[in-house]
Structure 1
């Protein structure tokens, strides 16, 4: 089990979205949760998002996965696997200590393997990231956040920037953690063969929220009404837009956002939808409700598939949102929202007397058959 050696609450109050920092020995006696061979195996899979980046002088090479590992140079290359926590249970365990953060903010765990000199060049990201150093050493430089960094395009698939004056220049060793808020430029390269783990937290942009909400309104056939103004006055200036009419149009749009149930449903569905592929495999053969009950009574544990997002709104545990879909829990089963959404597994210890609630068992059976929860491998 991975545990922080520092107070995460103090970290949040001092550094979160304020300034970058290095936490030396943030994990004591750190051991890689995945081997390079296992990571390479993931990178070779069609469903897994992976990337290879190499540099020779000023020339950069980028390949998107699935990757092969034939005829590689001796150094100056890296490969990365996105959302590794969705595909590898050991990698997923590294996420656990960070689950003091809002689940809806967490994006994924990206793992990189680098040979000496390997990196992706100076760049900045629009998300907050914790970079945990695994085996080997890696030098990291972080610059100040400002608006006038110049982009340079050494490869069409790399968004790099020109140089910056570092405010952090550190060599990370196993267990060290580098926190970089969104917008701070950074550059890291391996000093020796190294593994790095990037825990990304990504907040949505305004345009993403508005686009998603518009799609939700259309898909659910809401907002199908025209502007109505029975007190419309005559006018001399046909090309002038009166402020009152503009405000009326804006109010008509805003009225859709002033419906709490509509907003709750949209946000629950939007925030619970994963941005990355998951290792979801439908049950074969399908489970029956009686078999689910029997397995639970025999002590079986059902585990949430890696990366599955499940949420409920505060004060409204009767509705859960799982992978972009809304599900109403049966009356009297509201407590199930806790172990469905806040835990990575459930057993008879969590289900308790609800084992006798046939409507809930029907839902659990549906989710197990969909592959959202499964028995241990």
Structure 2
């Protein structure tokens, strides 16, 4: 499955549109078939461990209900939308929708939210702080997208719903199955379903400086780092006790920023932070740890190892620094294990032919058994 960019290429898309302006590509996916139907989506919304909500609007009154849901009859035949987060964690077909967007690094991709809307259904005009590609599945939907506009008024028609006032649209189109809409951050948009429709939203994580610094502070607290006080051993007497001098400001600034000067520490934090999944994963931890002998035997019989759906992996391979991060954990990597680490980071299914030569090395055996026995990779788990 590939995007038909028409007159564009991935490179020109990134240069001209990515985080700059919205784009609609009609027929981006020829003969598109839905990866999940409305009934399957409703079934996921009945699960307590899957985040879902229904947004409705009747007689200009907005309402939000959070799952799990037992019944949908109360919502009627029109004017509501079911949204289910991280559906790619539970459906291999939905997870495959990420593949066409692999011209953007994996670490930027968050999850695939799927929505089912009845006629008139939508969530109202709003802004998102991240990039999103929306694939139109079943049905039709009218999409309006505008430019960033500081004059827009923030509206809160319900305590769980943030909207903005209506905007001037630069895109006003009806999307049909296989159409693709790209919306950059802070671009107001509004989608209203024309008939029963399904949309697949491939979202991208874009942490703010505030989020990164806050998480880094928590990381330091959790690991008891940088607890030492600043060094005041060279203090001289002052005749201006009411002032804080430049030398003291510099000293305090250095204390605050010293943590960011440790490249290895920052990389460890970022690897763990960016691979931490914020929605439930279907981790399949073996009842008893699988020994390498059994793993080799199963591979020899033609069994295939698959990563758990929705798993996030990052490989840092910078000169002397080699690290593999999976689901918020740091796995040691060196020159002996780098090839296996690349395979794991790419989340490719692992067959005997792919890993056989690697498994002659004890370090590779330890790496593979570790990810399997933590439930991150398993046989036939897709």
Report the TM-score range of the alignment, normalised by the length of the smaller protein.
over 0.9
Superposition map of 1:132-281 within 5 A: 132-281=135-284
Q: TM-score, normalised by structure 2?
A: 0.95
The C-alpha deviation readout for 1:277-336, integer Å capped at 9, x for no partner, is 111132234422211111122222111111111112132674211111111136612211
Corresponding residue of 2:38: 36
- 2:127 is matched with 124
* Map of 2:83 onto structure 1: 80
Q: Find the aligned partners of 1:374 and 1:37 in 2 and give their Cα distance.
A: 28
Corresponding residue for 1:352? Answer: 356
| 1:215-268 superposed Cα distances (whole Å, 9 cap, x missing partner) | 112222221221113332211221211111101111122222111111111111
Q: Which moved more, 1:224-233 or 1:244-253?
A: 224-233
Give the secondary-structure state (helix, strand or coil) at the position aligned to 1:303: strand
Q: Which moved further from structure 2: 42-51 or 366-375?
A: 366-375
Residue in 2 aligned with 1:115?
A: 118
Match of residue 62, structure 1, among 52, 61, 64? 64
How far, CA to CA, are the matches of 2:289 and 2:236 in structure 1? 65
Instruction: Please name the residue that 1:367 is paired with.
Output: 371
Out of 41-50 and 337-346, give the one that drifted further.
Answer: 337-346
Q: Mean Cα displacement is larger for which, 113-122 or 311-320?
A: 311-320
Q: Deviations over 1:74-93 (max 9, x none)?
A: 11111011111111111011
Under a length normalisation based on structure 1, what TM-score does the superposition of the two structures give? 0.96
State whether structure 2 residue 39 is matched by structure 1 residue 52.
no
Which residue number in structure 1 is paired with residue 332 of structure 2?
328
Unpaired runs of at least 5, structure 1: none
Aligned: 1:300 with 2:303: yes
Helix, strand or coil for the counterpart of 2:267? helix
Residues of 2 paired with 1:119 and 1:83: CA distance? 19
Distance in 2, Cα, partners of 1:36 & 1:191: 16
Q: Is the 8 A contact 1:129 1:198 kept in 2?
A: yes
Is the 2:144–2:169 contact (alpha carbons within 8 Å) kept by the matching residues of 1?
A: yes
Runs of 4+ that moved beyond 4 A: none
8 Å Cα contact 1:17/1:128 also seen in 2: yes
Work out whether residues 307 and 348 of structure 2, in 8 Å CA contact, stay in contact via their aligned partners in 1: yes
Which residue number corresponds to residue 22 of structure 1?
24
Q: Tell me the distance in 2 between the aligned counterparts of 1:221 and 1:72.
A: 51
Q: Is the 8 A contact 1:105 1:201 kept in 2?
A: yes
Matched position secondary structure for 2:239: coil
3-state SS in 2 of match to 1:154: strand
In 2, Cα distance between the equivalents of 1:289 and 1:79?
A: 44
- Distance in 2 (CA, whole Å) between partners of 1:258 and 1:285 is 42
Distance 1:122 1:230, change over 3 A: same
The answer to whether the 8 Å contact 1:293/1:361 transfers is: no
Q: Give how far 1:121 is off.
A: 0.5
Number of corresponding residues: 376
**Cα drift, residue 349 of structure 1:** 2.3
Query: Is contact 1:86–1:306 with CA below 8 Å preserved after alignment?
Result: yes
